[in-house]
Amino acid sequence: MAYPTPTPWLNARTEARLANLLLYGTTAAVLIFFYIPIFTLIAFSFQEGRYPTLPFEGVSLKWYAALFQNSSAGDALYNSTVIAVVATLFATLIGSAAAIVAVRYRFRFRIPFTGLSAAPLAFPQLLLGIVLLLWFSVLGRTFDFNTGVTTAIIGHVVYITPFAMVIVAVQVFNFDSTLEDAARDCGASTLDVYRYITLPLLWPGIFSAGIFAFLLSWGNFYLTYSLAGSTRTLPTFVFSGIATGSSPLYPAIATVVFIPGILLVILADRMRRKG
């Protein structure tokens, strides 16, 4: 006896629409959840009143004027930039070399090398900062130096190098080594191969890794607080100011830092897509 084929409750087009609605709706909800606090902070930076409370007492740019006239904030921004730039250069260079070695070469201790290179990723920043502080304290008593910008740079390099390594490793993994073989067959030296073939093709990944490492270093609090000594960076400046009382000056700082950060992320993503 033949049974009638059951009619599906939803046709394929309706199912696709519901799936898209669920996907886009969930994505929008997550983005709203993430960005509402940020945009609220930005809104508070434009209010007239002394304290970031609702309702607004008026709209003003005076907190941005106060920010640019604040010499302590300028010094903190300068220190953050110096630490982030120097740490990024070292971390990107070391991470790129480690990524090339870990992905392209086969040697006896390759797996331990890769694991140890990525080990700082598993350390909480606070714990890593305390461990490095204890280490620098012992060395400081032995060689007579104090924590400051140099120790902060070293700590940042230890922390952000594995991130740079992972990002560059993705680019190295997708690299077509036959292009290098073709260049060698045409008479190119090893230096020429790296200069004209390898590095240009890996550059988008290296550039993206550098931007990501810079942002991780520039906004880092725990390592800087532990290792910078009396040197104040932007995160520690904000922390010390909020500890004594809230002010729209700090939402203004967050806004000034947030906008360049977003632009750098967009630039890194464009370079990654180009790569």
Q: How confident is the model over 116-134, as a mean pLDDT?
A: 84
Alpha-carbon distance of 134 to 140, in angstroms, equals: 10
Pick from 39-43, 126-130, 132-136, 164-168: least confident: 39-43
Tokens of 86: 């120097």
Q: How confident is the model at residue 214 (pLDDT cuts 50, 70, 90)?
A: very high
266 vs 254: CA distance, rounded Å: 18
Positive or negative, the CA dihedral 127, 128, 132, 135 is: positive
Look at residue 247 in the predicted model and tell me its pLDDT: 67
What whole-number distance in Å separates Cα of residue 250 and Cα of residue 239?
Answer: 9
The answer to whether 228 touches 147, Cβ cutoff 8 Å, is: yes
Over residues 28-78, the pLDDT tens digits come to 888 888 778 778 877 777 777 676 667 767 777 777 887 788 788 888 889
Q: Is residue 55 left, alpha or beta, with left meaning phi > 0 and alpha meaning psi from -120 to 50?
A: beta
| pLDDT value for 245 | 62
